A and B are shown apart, each in its own frame.
Chain A
């Protein structure tokens, strides 16, 4: 279980998170939704310790993420896999090497076993015959899928997905959603999915949290969120232009 208590985070004068409280239950898929630029990516980076909160507490399985030595932090990070919003592939490595990298560095598997796992991970995200390409030679959607394969290849306990399907075509989008649901049913990892895919995300997540103005505005099951009477939530999930959220 991951628990955030009173988390504040600012960049210079800009307040991004403003006393955020959230509990992410173990073994479930939790979706984070909310308008662009509200701090969803920042929230994921706080969870894995890439950013430090200005104040507040972040606990992973009862262990506090602040004030740790590098070795302690790495110990906690080994539970995590992360897909970055921009995929963050290593551009000096081929697709194969990118996905193989965590296996090479973190396990003692043989070359053949690594090869088998990498190819199967790539196949699961619908990529074939691209192992030898380099990230610069891939389309945006392909990069995303390589990043997805790299994030899950070590079978982590907790997986953070930052917009896993943004920029993918509808068929692949459905396939990725299917993949997340299936692998979750099989391995039972804890997932945090930042997503703009409304309403599809309600079929995948067991929990939905809406981030708005630096706080969790509402948190509940997909049905509760869809039935919400809160004007901001209502406007956001219906994608209407009229309401309290102003664009621009």
Chain B
């Protein structure tokens, strides 16, 4: 039987597929790809699986890292939802009549994010929390016009670095506002000095980089003449007054805690929400509620004139492919847990962090949390005699300590950021404490 290829070629009156490449000039042709030939599926699976075995997972090794990314339990039902091939093998829902499932899931994601943050509108995602911050700075500039954007000096350096690259075209200048050395919260006196009519926006995180809840949002709002951008951990929002209540104009955050595993840092979910009055200045894709020709409820992409495929060089952002599937996971996660479930997870994180900090603080030579007061699920641990040796010793014992802060903030070079979640077993915590005891 002739193959598909032969039949198609014959029908087109061609002898070989090569004829279809006759338009590629010989000067740019290559004889073949300079990579090995293909392998059978079983061999690829065996090879990749074996390579990856060189990783030590947080299951093999009690790990106390957070810093923007957390090891929360993901209910199987969340995975089941995003494993539906109708979701994961589809693309941007350009054709709403055959995409209602995804459109509704994304609209529900937007709605749930709005409930959590007290905002009116959310987009379906930015690439991650750091690009969401970058886009927020640009949007603050579009709204206000000022050329200065203030951020906390206590900001995870990868967020700071990404922000630096996102504001280039807008001609913005980022200035840092120091944190209060006692409380770990934003230094309001310094914020006051930094404020000027040219400040288009102020960014503040709650909880902040040190895991400390930022309790001065009201004061910060009052001092801010520009746009207030609040960075959140979405799970923590279940137990705090939402930023919308404090007058935030834009809320951003890393959405990975909502139903996505850590995956070595990607894919991630950039949360981006704002007030209704600003929706036409918002970047990214949004889903709206409407009707079909028969008057039935329907969803579709909307406000597309803000986007690159219509507005081109004047678009609010260049984003096209985003992180939709993670938004679906987040919607499923929030829906599966419900408000009570989310509150339970948040409370559990707070309790565990408090207990772990207290236990570490008991060990002579260690101070935890370095900043007193309410924390979410991470906190700074300081060892005056130096932290680096502790970090190495823990690793040798098969334990991964917190994030050393040397590279982040020089004044905290003897400290590390320890995180915990509901996933740490008593045994894991016990091993950490025993290992730290050795440094007494």
A binds B: no
List residues of chain A with CB under 8 Å of any chain B CB.
none
